[in-house]
Amino acid sequence: MNQSHRLPAGGRIDRSRSLSFTFDGARYSGHPGDTLASALIANGVHLVGRSFKYHRPRGILTAGSEEPNALIQLGLGNRTEPNIRATQIELYDGLVAASQNRFPSLEFDLGAVNDTLSPLIPAGFYYKTFMWPQRGWMTYERAIRRMAGLGRAPDGPDPDRYEYRHAHCDVLVAGGGAAGLAAALAAGRAGARVIIADEQAEMGGWLLSEGETEISAKPAVDWVGKAVTELAGMENVTLLRRTTAFGYYDQNWLGLVERVTDHLGPYAADHLPRQRLWQVRAKQVVLATGAIERPLVFAQNDRPGIMLAASLRSYIARYGARPGKALVVFTNNDSGYRTALVAHQAGIGVTAIIDTRMGAVGPLPQAARAAGLRIYEGHAIIATSGRLRVDGVRLGKLAASGDRIEGSGFGISCDLVAMSGGWNPNVSLFSQSRGKLDFRAEDGVFVPGQSFQPLRSAGTCNGVLSTAECLAEGLAAGAEAAREAGFANRKPAGLKVTEPECPAAAPFWLAPPEKPLARAKCFVDFQNDVTAADLKLAVREGFQSVEHVKRYTTTGMGTDQGRTSNVNALAIVSATLGQDIPAVGTTTFRPPYTPTSFGAIAGRNIGALFDPVRRTPIHDWHAAHGAKFENVGQWVRAWYYPKPGEDMHAAVNREVKAARTGVGILDASTLGKIEVKGPDAAEFLNRVYTNSWLKLGIGKARYGLMLGEDGMVRDDGVTVRLGEDRFLMSTTTGNAATVMTSLEDYLQTEWPELKVYLTSVTEQYATLTINGPKSRELLAALTDDIDTGNEAFPHMSLREGNVAGVPARVIRISFTGELSYEINVRASQGKAVWEALMKAGEPFGITPYGTEAMHVLRAEKGFIIVGQETDGSMTPGDLGMDWIVSKVKPDFVGKRSLARSDTVREGRKQLVGLLTEDRKEVLEEGAHVVETVLDKPPMAMLGHVTSSYYSPNLERSIALAVLKGGRSLIGKTLSVPMPDKVIRVTVTEPVFFDPKGERANG
Amino acid sequence: MLTIPCPWCGERDVHEFRSGGEAHLKRERRADALSDAEWADFLFLRANPKGEHAERWYHVHGCRRWFNAVRNTHTDTILAVYKPGEAKPEAAQ
Q: Does A281 touch chain B (CB under 8 A)?
A: yes
pLDDT at A142: 67
Residue range A533-591, pLDDT digits in tens: 999 999 999 998 888 999 999 998 888 888 999 999 999 999 999 999 988 887 778 89
Residue range B42-54, pLDDT digits in tens: 999 999 999 999 9
Domain end, chosen from A714, A745, A762, is at: A762
Q: Per the CB < 8 Å rule, is A250 touching B18?
A: no
How far is it, in rounded angstroms, from Cα A899 to Cα A907? Answer: 15
| String of DSSP letters for A836-899 | HHHHHHGGGT-EE--HHHHHHHHHHTT---TTTT-SS---TTTTT-GGGS-SS-S--TTTGGGG
pLDDT of B61 strictly over 80: yes
Best to test chain B binding among A434, A896, A905 (most B CBs inside 10 Å): A896
Verify that A74 and A180 share a domain, yes or no.
no
With a threshold of 0.90, tell me whether the complex ipTM lies above it. yes
Q: Answer for the pair A530, A555: CB distance below 8 angstroms, yes or no.
A: yes
Indicate which CATH number applies to the domain containing A76.
3.10.20.440
pLDDT range class, residue A124, cuts 50, 70, 90: confident
Q: Per the CB < 8 Å rule, is B39 touching A901?
A: no
Domain end, chosen from A457, A475, A490, is at: A490
pLDDT (mean) for A738-762: 96
Q: Is residue A771 part of a domain?
A: no
Residue range A189-242, pLDDT digits in tens: 999 999 999 999 999 999 999 988 999 999 999 999 999 999 999 999 999 999
pLDDT range class, residue A120, cuts 50, 70, 90: confident
Sort out which chain A residues have CB atoms less than 8 A from B43's CB and list them: 709-710, 897
Verify that A109 and A182 share a domain, yes or no.
no
pLDDT range class, residue A268, cuts 50, 70, 90: confident
Q: 3-class SS at A143? A: helix
Q: Is residue A803 part of a domain?
A: no
pLDDT at B93: 44
Quote the number of domains for chain A. Answer: 4
Query: HEC states along A587-625?
Result: CCCCCCCCCCCHHHHHCCCCHHHCCCCEECCCHHHHHHC
Indicate which CATH number applies to the domain containing A437.
3.50.50.60
In chain A, what percentage of residues exceed pLDDT 70?
98
A812 membership: H or E segment, kind and range: strand A806-812
pLDDT at A126: 67
pLDDT (mean) for A284-299: 98
In chain A, what percentage of residues exceed pLDDT 90?
87
Best to test chain A binding among B8, B36, B74, B78 (most A CBs inside 10 Å): B36
In terms of CA atoms, which chain B residue is nearest residue A891? B29
Sort out which chain B residues have CB atoms less than 8 A from A684's CB and list them: none
pLDDT range class, residue A147, cuts 50, 70, 90: low
Q: Is residue A527 part of a domain?
A: no
How far is it, in rounded angstroms, from Cα A865 to Cα A881? Answer: 13
pLDDT at A134: 64
Q: Answer for the pair A956, A1002: CB distance below 8 angstroms, yes or no.
A: no
Q: Per the CB < 8 Å rule, is B1 touching A901?
A: no
How far is it, in rounded angstroms, from Cα A96 to Cα A75? Answer: 5
Other CB atoms within 10 A of residue A501 CB: 11
Across the interface, of B28, B43, B76, the residue whose CB is closest to A897 is B43
In terms of CA atoms, which chain A residue is nearest residue B68? A749
Which phi and psi (to 5°) does residue A716 adopt? Answer: -145, 165
Which phi and psi (to 5°) does residue A13 adopt? Answer: -115, 155
Long-range CB contact pairs, A261-268, < 8 A, 24+: A262/A89, A262/A90, A263/A90, A263/A92, A263/A201, A264/A92, A265/A92, A265/A93, A265/A94, A265/A95, A266/A75, A266/A79, A268/A92
| String of DSSP letters for A363-404 | HHHHHHHHTT--EEETEEEEEEE-SSS--EEEEEEEPTTSSS
pLDDT (mean) for A50-69: 93
Domain end, chosen from A448, A473, A490, is at: A490
In terms of CA atoms, which chain A residue is nearest residue B31? A896
Q: How close are the terminal C-alpha atoms of chain A, in Å?
A: 92
How far is it, in rounded angstroms, from Cα A854 to Cα A848? Answer: 11
CB pairs under 8 A between A and B: 54
Residue range B5-57, pLDDT digits in tens: 999 999 999 999 999 999 999 999 899 999 999 999 999 999 999 999 999 99
CA A826 distance to own-chain centroid: 42
**What domain range includes position A250?**
162-291+425-490
Residue range A772-816, pLDDT digits in tens: 999 999 999 999 999 999 999 999 999 999 999 999 999 999 999
In terms of CA atoms, which chain B residue is nearest residue A687? B29
Q: Per the CB < 8 Å rule, is B1 touching A744?
A: no
Question: How close is the nearest chain B Cα to the Cα of A243, in Å?
Answer: 20
pLDDT at A131: 62
pLDDT at A116: 78
pLDDT of A653 strictly over 50: yes
B81 forms bridges with which residues in the sheet?
A: B69
In terms of CA atoms, which chain B residue is nearest residue A746? B66
- Domains present along chain B, CATH in parentheses: 3-26+34-82 (3.30.2270.10)
- Give the pairing of strands A701-707 and A497-498: unpaired
Across the interface, of B1, B2, B43, the residue whose CB is closest to A710 is B43
In terms of CA atoms, which chain B residue is nearest residue A750? B27
Q: Per the CB < 8 Å rule, is A895 touching B31?
A: yes
Average per-residue pLDDT in chain A? 94
Q: Answer for the pair A507, A332: CB distance below 8 angstroms, yes or no.
A: yes
Q: Is residue A496 part of a domain?
A: no
Q: Is residue A202 part of a domain?
A: yes
Across the interface, of A249, A741, A749, the residue whose CB is closest to B84 is A749
Q: Per the CB < 8 Å rule, is A896 touching B32?
A: yes
For chain A, how many helices (H) and strands (E)? 25, 51
pLDDT of A748 strictly over 90: yes
Q: Which of A248, A597, A195 has its CA nearest to residue B1?
A: A248
Residue range A1-28, pLDDT digits in tens: 478 999 999 999 999 999 999 999 999 9
How far is it, in rounded angstroms, from Cα A719 to Cα A722? Answer: 9
CA angle A67, A451, A174 (to 5 degrees): 40
A258 forms bridges with which residues in the sheet?
A: A243, A276
Verify that A171 and A109 share a domain, yes or no.
no
